[in-house]
Structure 1
Amino acid sequence: MNSKPFDPSHLITTTVGNIAMQLMTGNTYELDDPIFRQVMKHTMRIFEIIGPAGLLSTVQLLRAIPSPGKRQFGGSIRWDSSELFDETNLLGSCIEILLGGLETTSTVVVWIVHTLASYPEAQRRVRQEILQVIGKDRLPRFSDHNRMPLTMAIIAECMRLRPAGPFHIAHIALEDLKVGAYDIPKGSPITLNIWHLAQSPTLWEKPKSFRPERFLTDDGKFDRKHEPFLFGIGRRSCPGESLARVEIFLFTTFILQRFNIRLAEGVPVDIGTRASATVSPDPYQIHAVKAT
């Protein structure tokens, strides 16, 4: 871009989408390919609809309330819930790969780019670790993360400070149970307020501050056990977590190995947000200058 300001969101989203397409089809596509663009357009549209429709369906008292999102989403995707593997369920699986593997990961990376552009010292420290472990010439590999605790801590703090998923997909209580002072009847949908867990002042010291050291032990190792449950936990955790972590690490290291990035003039550090199925930043622009 010759140092001109640009919005990185579209490039990030379509590149993540291309990874999902490669998983499904075995092919990658040029970013201006008309079929690929159509798939991306409709996938993003589904996410726009899911946002309010999904939230309303999570709260029992609001389920009966008609809404444009629920009307558009209802009946738009249907597949057999049986365990038979046929073309219909194959299509359903492909839709799940696109929905689960596109918007969430791309939103995380869009947030990371904005956050690192806002905090040049953190960016410099990541680049220093990249040079020490990877160098300038070799492409990053995910296995490098085992020797890059500071980079992992900075990524974790980016994801804590600006969690892309405000709440988990609801699960259903299989029996009556009690959690603290709350009685939860069998059949109730249960979700987790990720935004609260990531921003709670009772869980984090100065939660609004960018402090990657939260995720480093006294001897400088990455302390993953303190991460918020961004991908869930246990047997019902996100099945795409492993792929998402690979993508997030590689996007971050690929970009910072090659570029110094900074926010364009007028772009705030405390940027506004847009809520759908994820919470994404308002459109913003950055400058990217090749690292020397």
Structure 2
Amino acid sequence: MGIRALLIAVLVALLILVFLGQLWTRRHYPPGPLSLPIIGGAWRLGIKLHEDTLIKIAKQYGNICCVWLGHQPVIAVFGFQAVKEVLINHAEVFSERPSSPFVKALGREKGIILSNSHTWKQQRQFAVVTLRKLGLGKKGMEHQIQEEAQQLVETFARAKGQPLDPSLLITNAVSNVICAVTFGHRFSLQDETFQKLVEGVDVGVKFIFSIFHILYEMFPWIMNHLPGPHKKAMTTFELMLSFAKEETEEHKEQQSFHEPRDFIDFYLLHMEKNQRRNEPNSTYDEENLFHCIHDFFIAGTETTATSLRWALLLLTNHPDIQDKVYKEIEDVFSSSHSICYQDIRKLPYTKAVIHEMQRLKSILLVGLPRQCTKDVKVNGYLIPKGAYILPDLRSVLLDPERWETPEEFNPNHFLDKDGHFVAREEFLPFGAGVRVCPGEQLARIEIFIFLTSLLRAFRLQLPEGVNKLRPDAIVGLTLSPHPYKFCAVPHCSSS
């Protein structure tokens, strides 16, 4: 018994020494939840993330805090000033994406969203330039969006004012804009391939930041041998890449890229030119093309579609605001006028409502993670090289120090006393710094044209017996509304 007691005492002493050593090593790091053996501070996140999980951590530990996932430090950043300091004032230091175990398992260091360094710079620059060539900000692409918006209006009209669920209809319309840009064609709602794509995006988005995703990042060697949602997420990812490969092969067979009409054509043409020039540092290859297509669908479909679903929900719950938007549109334009994005300047109240919707109902729980490229001090704290950075954009959009009524749907946040639109530097729904969303302009155009088209045609009303649509969110990578139905009543027949 004496030897056993001695061994236990030595073990306890060693654990205490290790713990004290960790405290000493990390004494200059930001504060955060107690880091336990093996799991670190992950216990503080709970089994399931909620909308206010991270906000509660910020209230306890401050606007820059450290949550350990096993041995990996994750620096969470909250509020406008702290997020600005990290994403804008130290943009280059925090410009990279983490090469986490799940990212490595997917082979996702390609494309735009999760790539780094030279690959990221080339792929992002090409995407931005190509979107302009395809008509972003010009009448050509706006016309495509207007056509999809009109299709959506006609689909809503077929419900004849009866309750309808807009979710899949909106996703189809927004997805078809991405399809037109990427593939040069659209899908019908009944198309099996389209349905698989939508399901794939949904599965991937719901997996990120789930408990199974966190467990995979902490214990990849165990999770690789266990069944679960992480396996489905990987399978779905491969399915979406396979679809991108099929579309690319069709484009190659048609030889259409010599007269490019979509993103795949422009990419294949650029690959051919690079091969002729024998560019040694080129990252333009088919693998990067497939991953770019996947990124377009994840970033370009889910976020915009979710924004529109939130917008329709909020306007249904706030008929007074909806009526003001409709009145402004009717006062400024005749019924025959086809609204284009430039017209947003003539509609300050409508513009304010769209901005307020994006502020109150942030699409992302947090901004996509960054990784610190070198030791740096921020607000007196040491952020070590290799630490993951989680910029909480939602906390910026709800920052009580920056917004008068942060928890309310209040378009006056973006209006002056004379009713003119006012831009706000703390309005960061698309991120900030060098990693700001490259599809921001496309998303703005889509939301404006889709929303004004629907509000000109219909008054959105609650179904009989329903007092209010649920304002809380389903938490994943995105914060999406619970399924809901409303009545799209044509204006000519509304009371």
Q: Provide TM-score, normalisation by structure 1.
A: 0.89
- Aligned pair in 2 of structure 1 residues 83, 278: CA closer, same or farther (>3 Å)? farther
Conservation of the 8 A alpha-carbon contact between 2:329 and 2:456: yes
Deviation of 1:42 after TM superposition, in Å, equals 2.0
Structure 2 partner of 1:63: 217
Deviation of 1:49 after TM superposition, in Å, equals 2.2
Structure 2 partner of 1:52: 210
- Aligned pair in 2 of structure 1 residues 146, 27: CA closer, same or farther (>3 Å)? same
CA distance in 2, matches of 1:6, 1:65: 43
Structure 1 partner of 2:176: 18
CA distance in 2, matches of 1:55, 1:170: 14
Does the residue aligned with 1:92 lie in a helix, a strand or coil?
Answer: helix
- Pick from 453, 461, 466: which aligns with 1:262? 461
Does the residue aligned with 2:163 lie in a helix, a strand or coil?
Answer: coil
Query: Which amino acid is the alignment partner of residue 40 of structure 1?
Result: V
Conservation of the 8 A alpha-carbon contact between 2:207 and 2:213: no
Aligned residues with identical type, % of pairs: 30
Does the residue aligned with 1:191 lie in a helix, a strand or coil?
Answer: strand
Give the structure with the larger helix fraction.
2
Question: Are 1:123 and 2:277 an aligned pair?
Answer: no
Within 5 A, what are the aligned runs for 1:185-196? 185-196=384-395
Conservation of the 8 A alpha-carbon contact between 2:365 and 2:476: no
Deviation of 1:15 after TM superposition, in Å, equals 0.9
Structure 1 partner of 2:490: 290
Conservation of the 8 A alpha-carbon contact between 2:308 and 2:451: yes
Question: Are 1:166 and 2:365 an aligned pair?
Answer: yes
Structure 2 partner of 1:106: 305
Query: Which amino acid is the alignment partner of residue 218 of structure 2?
Result: A
Conservation of the 8 A alpha-carbon contact between 2:316 and 2:462: yes
Within 5 A, what are the aligned runs for 1:1-292? 1-52=159-210, 56=214, 63-65=217-219, 68-73=228-233, 76-77=237-238, 83-264=282-463, 265-266=465-466, 268-292=468-492
Gaps of at least 5 residues in structure 1 are: none
Does the residue aligned with 1:261 lie in a helix, a strand or coil?
Answer: strand
RMSD: 2.4
- Aligned pair in 2 of structure 1 residues 65, 223: CA closer, same or farther (>3 Å)? farther
Deviation of 1:38 after TM superposition, in Å, equals 2.3
- Aligned pair in 2 of structure 1 residues 74, 4: CA closer, same or farther (>3 Å)? closer
Conservation of the 8 A alpha-carbon contact between 2:414 and 2:422: yes
CA distance in 1, matches of 2:454, 2:316: 11
CA distance in 1, matches of 2:349, 2:490: 22
Deviation of 1:242 after TM superposition, in Å, equals 0.6
CA distance in 1, matches of 2:382, 2:306: 35
Deviation of 1:288 after TM superposition, in Å, equals 0.7
Conservation of the 8 A alpha-carbon contact between 1:170 and 1:189: yes
Conservation of the 8 A alpha-carbon contact between 1:176 and 1:184: yes
CA distance in 1, matches of 2:213, 2:376: 23
CA distance in 2, matches of 1:141, 1:227: 27
Count matched residues: 286
Structure with bigger gyration radius? 2
CA distance in 1, matches of 2:172, 2:467: 23
Deviation of 1:226 after TM superposition, in Å, equals 4.3
Does the residue aligned with 1:260 lie in a helix, a strand or coil?
Answer: strand
**1:55-113 CA-partner distances (Å, limit 9, x unpaired):** 739xxxx831456444444584589xx85222222111110100110111111110000
CA distance in 2, matches of 1:41, 1:70: 15
Conservation of the 8 A alpha-carbon contact between 2:371 and 2:388: yes
Conservation of the 8 A alpha-carbon contact between 1:133 and 1:144: no
Conservation of the 8 A alpha-carbon contact between 1:167 and 1:194: yes
CA distance in 2, matches of 1:142, 1:164: 22
Query: Which amino acid is the alignment partner of residue 8 of structure 1?
Result: P
- Aligned pair in 2 of structure 1 residues 54, 91: CA closer, same or farther (>3 Å)? farther
Greater relative CO (CA pairs within 8 A, separation 6+): 1
Does the residue aligned with 2:164 lie in a helix, a strand or coil?
Answer: coil
- Aligned pair in 2 of structure 1 residues 83, 44: CA closer, same or farther (>3 Å)? farther
CA distance in 2, matches of 1:174, 1:85: 25
